[in-house]
Structure 1
Amino acid sequence: MEHAGGSYSISLVVLSITMAIAASCISLDMTSRARQSADRRRRSFWLSASAVTMGLGIWSMHFIGMLALRLPFPTTYQLFLTFISLVIAIISSFLAVFVVSRARLSFYCFIFAGVLMGGGISLMHYIGMAAIQSTYTIHYKLLPFIGSILIAIVVSYWALYLTFRLQKPNWLEHNPTGKMTGAVLLGIAISGMHYVGMMATHFAAAPEPAEHMQSVPSGSSTFLTVTLAPDALSLWVGVTIFILIAILIAGAFIDRKLALESAQLSALQFEALYNGNPDLVCTIDLQGRIIQSNYAAGHITGYTAEELLLRTRHDLLPPERFEESERRFEKVSQGIPQTFEMELIHKNGHLVHLNATTIPVLKEKRVAAIMLIAKDITMQKQNEEMFRKSDKLSMAGQLAAGVAHEIRNPLTSIKGFFHLLRRGMGREDIYEVIDAEIDQIDSIITEFLLLANHQPEQYKRINLKELVGHVLTLLQAQANMNNIAIETRTAPDLPYILCDENKIKQVFINMIKNAIESMTGEGTITVDLTRKGDKDVLIRIADEGGGISDELRPKLGEPYYITKVKGTGIGLMVSFKIINEHNGTIEYKHADGAGTTVEVTLPID
Structure 2
Amino acid sequence: MGTQLQLYTSLFHNNPDAVFMFDMDGRFTGVNAAGEALVGYTSQELLRMQIWEILGPKEVLDQKKQQQILYSGIRRNKYYQLLHKDGQIVDIVASSFPIFHNGEIISRYSIAKDITQQKKMEEALHQMQENFRLISENIMDLIFIVNVDGIITYASPSVQAVSGLTIDQVINQHFSILMHPDQIAQAKSDFDHMLKEKVTLDAEYHYLHPDGRMLLFDVKGTPDICSSGQIVSTVFVARDITERRQSEDLLRYSDKLSVLGELAAGIAHEIRNPLTALKGFIQLMEGDNVANRQYLQIMRSEIDRITSITSELLLLAKPQALRFAPNGLLPLLLSVIKLLEPQALLKNVTILTDFPQVTSLILCEEYQIKQVFINIIKNGMEAMPLGGNLTIKVVECSHDVVIRISDQGQGIPAELLPRLGELFYSTKETGTGLGLMVSSKIIRDHGGSIDIASDVGKGTTVSIALPKALKTSVSSID
Q: Does 1:486 align with 2:347?
A: no
Q: Does 1:519 align with 2:384?
A: yes
Correspondence list, 1:367-378, <5 A: 367-378=231-242
Q: Structure 1 579/254 Cα, relative in aligned 2: closer, same or farther at 3 Å?
A: same
Match in the other structure for 2:204 = 341
Q: Structure 1 320/563 Cα, relative in aligned 2: closer, same or farther at 3 Å?
A: farther
Q: State the secondary structure of the residue aligned to 1:552.
A: helix
Which deviates more from structure 2 when the two are superposed, residues 336-345 or residues 385-394? 336-345
Q: State the secondary structure of the residue aligned to 1:551.
A: helix
Q: Structure 1 408/454 Cα, relative in aligned 2: closer, same or farther at 3 Å?
A: same
Match in the other structure for 2:5 = 235
Between the aligned partners of 1:487 and 1:392, the Cα distance in structure 2 is 42
Does structure 2 retain, via aligned residues, the 8 Å contact 1:518–1:546?
yes
The match for 1:292 among 151, 154, 159 is 154
Q: State the secondary structure of the residue aligned to 1:336.
A: coil
Q: Does 1:559 align with 2:329?
A: no
Between the aligned partners of 1:375 and 1:596, the Cα distance in structure 2 is 49
| CA displacement, residues 181-219 of structure 1 (integer Å, 9 cap, x when unaligned) | xxxxxxxxxxxxxxxxxxxxxxxxxxxxxxxxxxxxxxx
Q: Does 1:504 align with 2:369?
A: yes
Between the aligned partners of 2:321 and 2:6, the Cα distance in structure 1 is 96
Q: Structure 1 257/402 Cα, relative in aligned 2: closer, same or farther at 3 Å?
A: closer
Does structure 1 retain, via aligned residues, the 8 Å contact 2:363–2:468?
yes
Structure 1 residue 543: Cα displacement? 0.5
Match in the other structure for 1:443 = 308
Structure 1 residue 486: Cα displacement? 1.0
Between the aligned partners of 2:115 and 2:417, the Cα distance in structure 1 is 76
Does structure 2 retain, via aligned residues, the 8 Å contact 1:542–1:591?
no
Q: Which one has a larger percent helix, Structure 1 or Structure 2?
A: 1
Q: Structure 1 589/325 Cα, relative in aligned 2: closer, same or farther at 3 Å?
A: same
Match in the other structure for 1:79 = none
Q: State the secondary structure of the residue aligned to 1:458.
A: strand
Does structure 2 retain, via aligned residues, the 8 Å contact 1:332–1:370?
no
Q: State the secondary structure of the residue aligned to 2:414.
A: coil
Structure 1 residue 250: Cα displacement? 4.7
Match in the other structure for 2:194 = 332
Q: Structure 1 250/273 Cα, relative in aligned 2: closer, same or farther at 3 Å?
A: farther
Q: Does 1:352 align with 2:240?
A: no
Equivalent AA in structure 1 for residue 6 of structure 2: W
Structure 1 residue 519: Cα displacement? 1.0
Between the aligned partners of 1:405 and 1:592, the Cα distance in structure 2 is 30
Between the aligned partners of 2:362 and 2:114, the Cα distance in structure 1 is 74
Structure 1 residue 267: Cα displacement? 3.6
Structure 1 residue 403: Cα displacement? 0.9
Does structure 1 retain, via aligned residues, the 8 Å contact 2:358–2:394?
no
Structure 1 residue 512: Cα displacement? 1.0
Q: Structure 1 490/350 Cα, relative in aligned 2: closer, same or farther at 3 Å?
A: farther
Q: Structure 1 445/545 Cα, relative in aligned 2: closer, same or farther at 3 Å?
A: same
Q: Structure 1 253/549 Cα, relative in aligned 2: closer, same or farther at 3 Å?
A: closer
Q: Structure 1 312/452 Cα, relative in aligned 2: closer, same or farther at 3 Å?
A: farther
Does structure 1 retain, via aligned residues, the 8 Å contact 2:145–2:153?
yes
Correspondence list, 1:133-144, <5 A: none
Structure 1 residue 566: Cα displacement? 1.8
Match in the other structure for 1:413 = 277
Structure 1 residue 570: Cα displacement? 1.4
| CA displacement, residues 338-389 of structure 1 (integer Å, 9 cap, x when unaligned) | 2223333333322333332112234654334332112333333222222211
Between the aligned partners of 2:321 and 2:180, the Cα distance in structure 1 is 31
Between the aligned partners of 1:323 and 1:460, the Cα distance in structure 2 is 38
Which deviates more from structure 2 when the two are superposed, residues 488-497 or residues 430-439? 488-497
Equivalent AA in structure 2 for residue 595 of structure 1: G
Q: Structure 1 468/301 Cα, relative in aligned 2: closer, same or farther at 3 Å?
A: farther
Does structure 1 retain, via aligned residues, the 8 Å contact 2:414–2:454?
no
Between the aligned partners of 2:187 and 2:324, the Cα distance in structure 1 is 33
Between the aligned partners of 1:530 and 1:246, the Cα distance in structure 2 is 80
Between the aligned partners of 1:256 and 1:404, the Cα distance in structure 2 is 80
Correspondence list, 1:83-94, <5 A: none
Gaps in structure 1 of 5+ consecutive residues: 1-230
Correspondence list, 1:189-588, <5 A: 232=2, 235-245=5-15, 247=17, 250-251=112-113, 261=123, 264-265=126-127, 267-272=129-134, 274-275=136-137, 277-334=139-196, 335-362=198-225, 365-423=229-287, 425=289, 427-454=292-319, 457-493=322-358, 495-532=360-397, 534-588=398-452
Structure 1 residue 447: Cα displacement? 0.7
Does structure 1 retain, via aligned residues, the 8 Å contact 2:400–2:468?
yes
Structure 1 residue 494: Cα displacement? 5.4
Equivalent AA in structure 2 for residue 294 of structure 1: S
| CA displacement, residues 323-350 of structure 1 (integer Å, 9 cap, x when unaligned) | 4323312212313322223333333322
Equivalent AA in structure 1 for residue 414 of structure 2: D
Between the aligned partners of 1:412 and 1:256, the Cα distance in structure 2 is 91
Between the aligned partners of 1:496 and 1:560, the Cα distance in structure 2 is 34
Does structure 2 retain, via aligned residues, the 8 Å contact 1:456–1:581?
no
Between the aligned partners of 1:319 and 1:296, the Cα distance in structure 2 is 22
Between the aligned partners of 2:362 and 2:384, the Cα distance in structure 1 is 31
Q: State the secondary structure of the residue aligned to 1:521.
A: coil
Structure 1 residue 572: Cα displacement? 1.3
Does structure 1 retain, via aligned residues, the 8 Å contact 2:147–2:233?
yes
Q: Structure 1 329/459 Cα, relative in aligned 2: closer, same or farther at 3 Å?
A: farther
| CA displacement, residues 143-166 of structure 1 (integer Å, 9 cap, x when unaligned) | xxxxxxxxxxxxxxxxxxxxxxxx
Does structure 2 retain, via aligned residues, the 8 Å contact 1:293–1:305?
yes
Q: Structure 1 296/504 Cα, relative in aligned 2: closer, same or farther at 3 Å?
A: farther
Which deviates more from structure 2 when the two are superposed, residues 354-363 or residues 272-281? 272-281
Between the aligned partners of 2:157 and 2:269, the Cα distance in structure 1 is 58
Q: Structure 1 367/446 Cα, relative in aligned 2: closer, same or farther at 3 Å?
A: same
Q: Structure 1 359/449 Cα, relative in aligned 2: closer, same or farther at 3 Å?
A: same
Match in the other structure for 1:82 = none
Question: How many residues get paired?
Answer: 374
Structure 1 residue 233: Cα displacement? 6.6
Equivalent AA in structure 1 for residue 403 of structure 2: I
Does structure 2 retain, via aligned residues, the 8 Å contact 1:537–1:603?
yes
Does structure 2 retain, via aligned residues, the 8 Å contact 1:282–1:297?
no
Structure 1 residue 514: Cα displacement? 0.8
| CA displacement, residues 377-417 of structure 1 (integer Å, 9 cap, x when unaligned) | 33332222222111111111111111111111222222233
Q: Structure 1 444/323 Cα, relative in aligned 2: closer, same or farther at 3 Å?
A: farther
Query: How many percent of aligned residue pairs carry the same amino acid?
Result: 34
Equivalent AA in structure 2 for residue 384 of structure 1: E
Gaps in structure 2 of 5+ consecutive residues: 19-110, 470-478
Q: State the secondary structure of the residue aligned to 2:17.
A: helix
Between the aligned partners of 1:474 and 1:301, the Cα distance in structure 2 is 67
Structure 1 residue 551: Cα displacement? 2.2
Match in the other structure for 1:118 = none
Structure 1 residue 559: Cα displacement? 0.5
Structure 1 residue 275: Cα displacement? 4.1
